[in-house]
Amino acid sequence: MARYIFRRILMAIPVVFLIVLATFVLVHAMPGGPFDAVGTKAMPEKIRVILERRYGLDQPLYKQFGAYVWNLLHGDLGPLFRRQSQTVNDIVAQTFPVSIQLGSLSILVGFAFGIPIGIIAALNHNTVIDYIVTFMAVITRSIPSLVLGPFLILIFGVKFDILPIAFWGADPPFVLGFLPHPTKEFWLHAVMPVFSLGTGMAAGIARLTRAGLLDVLSSDYIRTARAKGLHERAIIIVHALKNSLIPVVTILGPLLAAAVTGSFITEQIFALNGMGRNFVNSIGQREYFLQTSLVLIYGILLVSGNLLVDIMYAWVDPRIRYD
Amino acid sequence: MTADKELEKLTENDDNASYGKGRSPLQDAFREFRRNKVAVAGTVFIIMVIIAAFIAPVITPYHFATQNILYNRAKPMEGYDITTVFAEENCHWYETPLEWGCTVYMSGSDALGRDLWSRVVYGTRVSLAVAFTAATVSLVIGLVYGTVSGFNGGRVDNIMMRIVDFLYAVPMLPIIIMMTVYFKALSRRGVSTGLMGWMIELNKLTGGLLFVFIAIGALNWIGMARMARGQVLSYKEKEFVEAAQAIGASSGHIIFKHLIPNVLGPLLIAESMAIPGYIFTESALSFIGLGVDPPTPSWGAMINEGYSGLRSNPHLVLLPGIALTVLTLAFNFMGDGLRDAFDTRLRGRK
């Protein structure tokens, strides 16, 4: 197992490198530069040349890329052009924890609601409860976070006025660099963004849990367990549940991607200072280093997420061996 | 005739019926699908939306870009009276470059004084175009790629699947966002030579949809390719393919007559289940300003325009939001119904 993980990490390095290379080239291929004229007020040519030299933008592209990678290896993600007092490192230190908190909380909500609901539906197969749950799951799955966010704001923020409609409740410095201080303020702020991302996930997980459990419950070894007179609860919890979670694990990867994708939207709607919002807001600007670095972080997240899924596979299904 | 009906009744709830008139698997699936009321309702709704998209000019009072700036942010049903909707006193002609308009809006008007209902109805065109084009594009690319990879096997398969594995680890959405930005920046600068210029022209003609198609197609063919390859690999070993090879059928014949018809079904069902995702992605891209170009109405873009005034004008978000949700719901119902109908493994368990 350890060797497998090591090999996977080794294989991930060229993948991440190619992602960085592609993004870097793409960003630099865009017409215009970071010091172009804004509106009618043009920057004097001399100053622009000096600025470009300062950031090394006058060098040939391969040299710039080499310098960027060299700095990356030293933990330096590069400078910002528009906000001189900050570097990309500062931005990432501020926004990465927010995105991670939002994403992991919503995945947590997805599992915390999805698995029990799926189990309930499967245990009451072909009854009214099952139909209601399945129907609700399809409806919930159909509401995009893009729509759910404003709906929640309208209901809980405007109509009842019980939840704050914007901003994240935790600010840097974070505990250990990425954990929020669990204040009441934080939870109040977190409820709406987390649920607008998490309910869709919960619906998907509930559906998979239900299907997985139904599949397992009709298998021979469950019949054996029943035949030897085991308690129904013991059958479900000890024998069936773990195997029924195999299909659920498969969507962890897509779920992680959905958390990333959703964060682009959710952070925008709730004005959270996360990575997605910074990425989207820097689209129109030519913040070469910020954009490349954020894509790099997304790449690392995705690669490690996929690795995590494969490891969890082996854990829930010992028949799978990685050698 | 009556005997047939009787038989039908007899076999209605018997899935293993082997007597009477034979039914093809397709007929079986169709019967199963028809029995699923929700799926049928979803399909009917989608057909209605398709018709609405085609006859949009007939069922909307205005063009989607018609502005009446003096009556912007009108509340729904404001001044709405069925007897006087198009009455003379409600309509005004102005000396401005803005077009004239009637001052009643069934579902309100947006910040630029455009009728919301008209925009929502025209918005179906964007969503449906994205749904079907993205499905077709990712299906075709995935099918070709997967079939080539699976059928050839060996080193070709290995290399092609390595590429897919690589793409699978790439954070697609950020890269696609960058690509769209790149395209949009180029088209703003007015490149007009070669392939790029041609694409930019086409993009303008489609109201900015071409780049959305490319983005979503590039995002989604990978899963399809994997699935197609898996299917081809398993069918390649089946006896009927072996038999075809034994009587000397060419590879092309085997691929087109034996493999693709078998592979296509599961892929089509997977596509129908992926369509809500395509609609989501389009609205998300439009929401962050990278989808269609204004004034083309897309529901995502409309939510983006409306959500900053959520407190005072909730209808600007609610109407496109509900439209988006209901259409997605219909596609989900249809996709689930199709899967249930064609998955013979599931059928016995009902």
Q: What is the pLDDT of residue B326?
A: 94
- Is the pLDDT score of B114 beyond 50? yes
> Nearest to residue B284, comparing CAs of B52, B133, B127?
B127
Distances in whole angstroms, Cα of residue B332 to Cα of each of A141, A228, B62, B219: 8, 41, 31, 20
Which band of pLDDT confidence, cut at 50, 70 and 90, is reported for residue A174?
confident
**Which amino acid is it at B225?**
A
> Nearest to residue A98, comparing CAs of A249, A279, A305, A288?
A279
**Stretch (H or E) spanning B236:** helix B209-236
Q: What is the pLDDT of residue B349?
A: 45
Q: How far apart are CA B77 and CA B60, in angstroms?
A: 15
C-alpha distance from A248 to closest chain B C-alpha (Å): 18
Of A166-180, B281-295, B320-334, where does the model show the most confidence?
Answer: B320-334
- Is the pLDDT score of B1 beyond 50? no
In sequence order, what are the beta bridge partners of B101? B92
Q: Is B290 on the interface with A (CB under 8 A)?
A: yes
pLDDT, mean of residues B41-54:
92
**Residue A146 is nearest to which of B289, B303, B329, comparing CB atoms?**
B303
C-alpha distance from B200 to closest chain A C-alpha (Å): 15
Q: Is B163 on the interface with A (CB under 8 A)?
A: no
In sequence order, what are the beta bridge partners of A38? A41
Q: What percentage of chain A exceeds 90 in pLDDT? A: 15
- Is the pLDDT score of B72 beyond 80? no
- Is the pLDDT score of B4 beyond 70? no
C-alpha distance from B71 to closest chain A C-alpha (Å): 24
Which band of pLDDT confidence, cut at 50, 70 and 90, is reported for residue B100?
very low
Chain B residues within 8 A of A126 when measuring between CB atoms: 350
Mean pLDDT of chain B: 79
CATH class for the domain made up of B121-296: mainly alpha
> Nearest to residue A284, comparing CAs of A20, A22, A32, A23?
A32
Q: What is the pLDDT of residue A54?
A: 86
Q: Chain B window 31-90: which residues touch A at a Cβ cutoff of 8 Å?
A: 38
Chain A residues within 8 A of B186 when measuring between CB atoms: 31
Q: How far apart are CA A257 and CA B178, in angstroms?
A: 17
Q: Is A18 on the interface with B (CB under 8 A)?
A: yes
Q: What is the pLDDT of residue B20?
A: 53
Distances in whole angstroms, Cα of residue B40 to Cα of each of A284, B36, B45, B331, B345: 44, 6, 9, 11, 21
Q: What percentage of chain A exceeds 70 in pLDDT? A: 97
Q: Is A303 on the interface with B (CB under 8 A)?
A: yes
Lowest mean pLDDT among A130-134, B4-8, B239-243, B345-349: B345-349
pLDDT, mean of residues B268-287:
88
Q: Is A159 on the interface with B (CB under 8 A)?
A: no
- Is the pLDDT score of B78 beyond 70? no
Q: What is the pLDDT of residue B128?
A: 92
Bigger pLDDT: A322 or B24? Answer: B24
Q: Which residue intervals of A124-183 are DSSP H helices?
A: 128-142, 145-152
> Nearest to residue B220, comparing CAs of B135, B143, B290?
B135
pLDDT, mean of residues B216-228:
86
Q: How far apart are CA B36 and CA B208, in angstroms?
A: 38
Test B324 with A31 for CB contact under 8 angstroms.
Answer: no
- Residues whose CB is less than 8 angstroms from the CB of residue B344 and which lie 6 or more positions away in sequence, other chains included: B25
Of A120-124, B211-215, B292-296, where does the model show the most confidence?
Answer: A120-124
C-alpha distance from B3 to closest chain A C-alpha (Å): 33
- Is the pLDDT score of B157 beyond 60? yes
- Is the pLDDT score of B182 beyond 50? yes
- Concatenating the DSSP letter of every residue in B197-213 gives HHHHHHHHHTTTHHHHH
Q: Which chain A residue shows the shortest CA-CA distance from B183?
A: A30
Q: What is the pLDDT of residue B344?
A: 61
Chain B residues within 8 A of A269 when measuring between CB atoms: 307
Q: Is A139 on the interface with B (CB under 8 A)?
A: yes
Structural domains in chain A?
A: 88-316 (1.10.3720.10)
Mutate to test the interface with B, among A142, A251, A278, A288 (most CBs of B within 10 A): A142
C-alpha distance from B341 to closest chain A C-alpha (Å): 16
In this structure, the number of other CB atoms found within 10 A of the CB of residue B218 comes to 18
Q: Is B142 on the interface with A (CB under 8 A)?
A: no
C-alpha distance from A295 to closest chain B C-alpha (Å): 6
- Is the pLDDT score of A320 beyond 90? no
- Is the pLDDT score of B98 beyond 50? no
Of B77-86, B182-191, B322-331, where does the model show the most confidence?
Answer: B322-331
Bigger pLDDT: A182 or A198? Answer: A198
Q: How far apart are CA A168 and CA A153, in angstroms?
A: 14
Of A100-109, A300-309, B6-15, where does the model show the most confidence?
Answer: A100-109
Q: What is the pLDDT of residue B328?
A: 93
Mean pLDDT of chain A: 85
Mutate to test the interface with A, among B196, B307, B334, B339 (most CBs of A within 10 A): B307
Q: What is the pLDDT of residue B55?
A: 87
- Is the pLDDT score of A185 beyond 90? no
pLDDT, mean of residues B156-180:
83
- Residues whose CB is less than 8 angstroms from the CB of residue B341 and which lie 6 or more positions away in sequence, other chains included: B29, B30, B32, B33, B36, B39, B347
Q: What is the pLDDT of residue B10?
A: 53
Chain A residues within 8 A of B189 when measuring between CB atoms: 31
Q: Is B310 on the interface with A (CB under 8 A)?
A: yes
Query: What is the tens place of the pLDDT at every residue in B249-270?
Result: 888 888 888 888 888 888 888 8
Test A26 with B178 for CB contact under 8 angstroms.
Answer: yes
Where are chain B's structural domains?
61-114, 121-296
Q: What percentage of chain B exceeds 70 in pLDDT? A: 81
- Is the pLDDT score of A61 beyond 70? yes
Which band of pLDDT confidence, cut at 50, 70 and 90, is reported for residue B93?
very low
Chain B residues within 8 A of A23 when measuring between CB atoms: 174-175, 178
Query: What is the tens place of the pLDDT at every residue in B13-34?
Result: 555 545 556 777 778 888 888 8
Bigger pLDDT: B3 or B168? Answer: B168
